[in-house]
């Protein structure tokens, strides 16, 4: 059980989760100071603790690390709250108004309410813990119920403080289109290290999470502190290491130069910025996040994700009814459960120059609409899905010609086109209502089970001239408008599944996952490259949301030729899909694919819902990942040996997460292995000869 307890005599609060404790206290200057984040404590122990010692040196601030740093007083580091009152005053002087702890639906929430000593400004700091989960959720709500408005220049969700350690190491991911989620580990500099997106979406180049350790953590052991922001627009996370080695992690939405006006009954509610401590290394931290996503983020975490066929790489924009039916007829015998038609089905969408915004079937390609294709897909025993990009418009479209001011734009400035398209302003109620109208109509008129929701370009000229000084609110309101639309569609169409896509993995975060079912990981479908992408992805996100395709060889992006078995085994580490041109696959390839799809269906409950262990990273002679079923009775090992090593056979692979007192049977060979030996000596591996060899092993506890 998780809980929040308080010691009134010291004004101390203790947040307890199954494996960790977090403690804070209201300090002399009003805002809470940080006491502890780590191994479990009792309330008496927390109440007796002194805060971390004051910083050394002149001008280092109030001394004790604050839970939420505001601009003002002798604070010279980065502030989570920065604003300007109507008279030009910048410092904030908060006074505690009260506190309350509420319990509901297996969660406990602490709220600390503050008001400025002079101005009509209130700030609520929120902390929430869930039963059975070590993640702590934090967010804040800011109000200024008076005119004229206050101008907010920064509003972070939370500030996390790390305990003193000899050194600090930062783990995060970086990359670009086609190479998302590349894991990096670097020493934390004595400076402000900021990860950010200024693009209006999460971004391919970074992802809103960090992990920090003392430089000695491994995959299986050591202390790791981590934090992740649930937001799908522009964001920033700053790791601040002072010259005296105090480390704090601040994070929230927005980016420099973007401001928000706050007045009247309005408020700014930040996205959740969650934190997790693990004493079990990076693997333990990842499994903690995976469980949190399944238990407290995803709308339908218990669903078994279907095997998908997507037509994009087979057809590109050359989409028509007959061609899609041919692909569907080949996909069904493979065991595919959901057939998805991608871009090119609507308007004058013959290429990426036109058509976005005109969401009606192309009459030349679908003379009788979508119903005949959908009926045929259903007759073949598959569900039907469709690609859409609701937030975008081509200038060459009927929609843009009718409503040119619906896009993000700035007065007296050119409208930059990327991929020949502009971004619709979903902060506008009329745009959001238009989008709901055609999407709802499409879903009501057709038996559509799945939407692949794409977003292929970032914001530019992100203005809204008709609202003047309030235009910057669109950086927030566009995202919340998208969230609201997704929720509205799901409520009206309960069977609907939605995949978040943004030119590949450009919109992957805990925010979008609260409104969708899975994410497209990368436009790069090369199996060898995917090993690194999936490794970085798994640091925070579970396999059950990671869409992974098997496509043609040689791969369209880099020309690499990889055996079909290797391609399938890599994609089986997530939510399996097929995306190749099946009309060009040989009968032998189709038969092998059907066999591998059947194998995946046997193991997918374990892959999608089990505990994940990264056994060996990309670049090792053998890369491997293991999944253990929630009840511990079955385990799946996917191992990859990209290149043989001359004169050396693969060594047995030590496993994780098994019962050392049990015996496990290899379901394929019937061989029996004591759990203790699998954990220490390892699982013997057998690979086919040649490059890009792989194997999938399923173990059952006897």
CA angle 506, 510, 514 (to 5 degrees): 110
Kindly list the distances between the CA atom of residue 14 and the CA atoms of 66, 267, 342, 524, in Å, as whole numbers in the listed order: 16, 28, 50, 45
Helix, strand or coil, per DSSP, at residue 220: coil
Question: How distant, in Å, are the alpha carbons of 81, 82, 86, 151, 473 from that of 89?
Answer: 14, 11, 7, 10, 22
CB 668 within 8 A of CB 697: yes
Among residues 90, 83, 226, 94, the alpha carbon closest in space to that of 162 is found at 226
Our measurement of the distance from residue 117's CA atom to the centroid of its chain's CA atoms, rounded to an integer in Å, reads: 39
Of 474, 10, 2, nearest to 254 (Cα)? 474
- How far apart CA 139 and CA 157 sit, in angstroms, is 5
Alpha helices per DSSP H over 253-331: 281-296, 312-315, 321-331
Catalytic residue chosen out of the listed positions 156, 213, 358, 454: 454
Could you count the other beta carbons within 10 Å of the beta carbon of residue 364? 9
Our CA dihedral for 315, 318, 320, 326, rounded to 10 degrees, sits at: -30
380 burial via Cβ count (<10 Å: 0-12, 13-18, 19+): middle
- C-alpha distances out from residue 698 to 273, 471, 566, 626, Å: 37, 55, 17, 10
Compute the distance between CA of residue 665 and CA of residue 633 in angstroms, rounded to an integer.
11
CA of residue 645 relative to chain centroid, distance: 36
Question: Between the CA atoms of 274, 277, 283 and 288, what dihedral angle is there, to the nearest 10 degrees?
Answer: -50
> Is-catalytic flag, 266?
no
Q: Is 454 a catalytic site residue?
A: yes
Burial grade of 323 (CB within 10 A; 0-12, 13-18, 19 or more): middle
Report the alpha-carbon distance of residue 647 to residue 599 in Å, rounded. Answer: 32
- Are the CB atoms for 501 and 520 separated by under 8 Å? yes
Neighbours of 687 (CB within 10 A): 16
116, 213, 523, 526: the active-site residue = 523
The residue whose two tokens read 């995306």 is 579
Quote the CA–CA distance of 476 and 427 in Å, as a whole number: 8
Q: How do the residues of the chain divide into helix, strand and coil, expressed in percent and rounded to 5?
A: 25, 30, 45
174-177 long-range Cβ contacts below 8 angstroms, 24+ apart? 174/205, 174/206, 175/204, 175/205, 175/206, 175/533, 175/536, 176/204, 176/205, 177/204, 177/503, 177/504, 177/506, 177/523
Rg over alpha carbons for the chain, rounded to the nearest Å, is: 26
**Three state DSSP letters for 152-166:** EEEEEEEEEECCCCC
CB neighbourhood size of 433 (10 A): 10
- For 591, the enclosing helix (H) or strand (E) is helix 587-609
Catalytic residues: 454, 523
């Amino acid at each position: 059980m998780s809980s929040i307890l308080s010691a009134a005599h010291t004004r101390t609060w203790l947040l307890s989760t199954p494996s960790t404790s977090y403690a804070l206290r209201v300090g002399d200057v009003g805002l809470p100071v940080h006491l502890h984040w780590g191994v479990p404590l009792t309330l008496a122990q927390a109440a007796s603790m002194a805060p971390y010692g004051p910083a050394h040196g002149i001008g280092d601030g109030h001394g004790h690390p604050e839970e939420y740093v505001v601009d003002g007083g002798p604070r010279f580091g980065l502030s989570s709250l920065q604003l300007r009152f109507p008279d030009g005053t910048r410092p904030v002087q908060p006074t505690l108004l009260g506190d309350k702890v509420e319990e509901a639906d297996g969660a406990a929430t602490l709220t600390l309410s503050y008001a400025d000593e002079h101005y009509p400004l209130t700030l609520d700091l929120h902390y929430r813990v869930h039963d059975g989960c070590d993640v702590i959720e934090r967010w804040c709500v800011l109000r200024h119920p008076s005119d004229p408005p206050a101008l907010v220049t920064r509003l972070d969700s939370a500030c996390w403080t790390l305990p003193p350690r000899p050194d600090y190491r930062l783990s995060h991911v970086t990359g670009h289109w086609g190479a998302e989620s590349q894991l990096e580990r670097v020493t934390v500099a004595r400076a402000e290290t900021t990860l950010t997106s200024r693009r209006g979406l999460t971004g391919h180049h970074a992802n809103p999470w960090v992990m920090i350790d003392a430089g000695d953590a491994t995959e299986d052991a050591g202390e790791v502190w981590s934090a992740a922001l649930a937001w799908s627009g522009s964001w920033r996370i700053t790791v601040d290491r002072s010259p005296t080695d105090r480390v704090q992690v601040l994070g929230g939405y927005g980016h420099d130069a973007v401001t928000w006006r706050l007045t009247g009954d309005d408020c700014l509610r930040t996205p959740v910025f969650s934190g997790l401590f693990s004493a079990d290394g990076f693997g333990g931290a990842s499994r903690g996040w995976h469980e949190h996503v399944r238990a407290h983020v995803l709308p339908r975490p218990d669903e078994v994700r279907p095997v998908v066929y997507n037509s994009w790489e087979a057809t590109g924009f050359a989409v028509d009814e007959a061609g899609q039916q041919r692909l569907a007829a080949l996909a069904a015998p493979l065991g595919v459960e959901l057939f998805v038609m991608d871009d090119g089905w609507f308007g004058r969408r013959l290429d990426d120059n036109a058509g976005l915004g005109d969401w009606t079937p192309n009459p030349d390609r679908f003379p009788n609409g979508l119903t005949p294709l959908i009926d045929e897909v259903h007759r073949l025993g598959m569900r039907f899905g469709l690609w859409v990009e609701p937030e975008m418009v081509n200038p060459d479209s009927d929609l843009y010609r009718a409503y040119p001011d619906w896009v993000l734009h700035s007065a007296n400035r050119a409208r930059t086109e990327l991929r020949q398209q502009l971004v619709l302003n979903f902060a506008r109620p009329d745009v959001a209502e238009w989008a709901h109208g055609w999407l709802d109509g499409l879903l009501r008129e057709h038996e559509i089970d799945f939407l692949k929701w794409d977003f292929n370009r970032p914001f530019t000229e992100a203005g809204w001239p008709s609202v003047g000084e309030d235009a910057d609110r669109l950086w927030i309101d566009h995202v919340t408008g998208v969230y609201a639309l997704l929720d509205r569609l799901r409520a009206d169409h309960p069977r609907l599944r939605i995949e978040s896509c943004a030119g590949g993995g450009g919109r992957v975060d805990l925010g979008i996952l609260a409104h969708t079912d899975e994410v497209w990981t990368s436009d790069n479908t090369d199996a060898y490259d995917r090993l690194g992408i999936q490794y970085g992805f798994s640091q925070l996100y579970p396999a059950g949301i990671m869409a992974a395709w098997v496509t043609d060889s040689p791969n369209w992006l880099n020309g690499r030729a990889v055996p079909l078995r290797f391609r399938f085994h890599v994609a089986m580490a997530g939510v399996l899909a097929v995306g190749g041109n099946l009309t060009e696959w040989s009968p032998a390839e189709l038969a092998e694919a059907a066999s591998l799809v059947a194998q995946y269906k046997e193991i997918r409950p374990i892959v999608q819902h089990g505990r994940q262990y990264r056994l060996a990273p990309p670049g090792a002679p053998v890369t491997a990942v293991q999944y253990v079923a929630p009840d511990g009775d079955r385990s799946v090992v996917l191992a990859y040996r990209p290149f043989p090593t001359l004169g050396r056979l693969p060594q047995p692979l030590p496993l994780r997460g098994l019962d050392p007192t049990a015996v496990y049977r290899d379901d394929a060979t019937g061989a029996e292995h004591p759990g203790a030996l699998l954990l220490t000596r390892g699982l013997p591996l057998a690979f086919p000869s040649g490059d890009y060899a792989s194997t999938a092993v399923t173990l059952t506890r006897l």
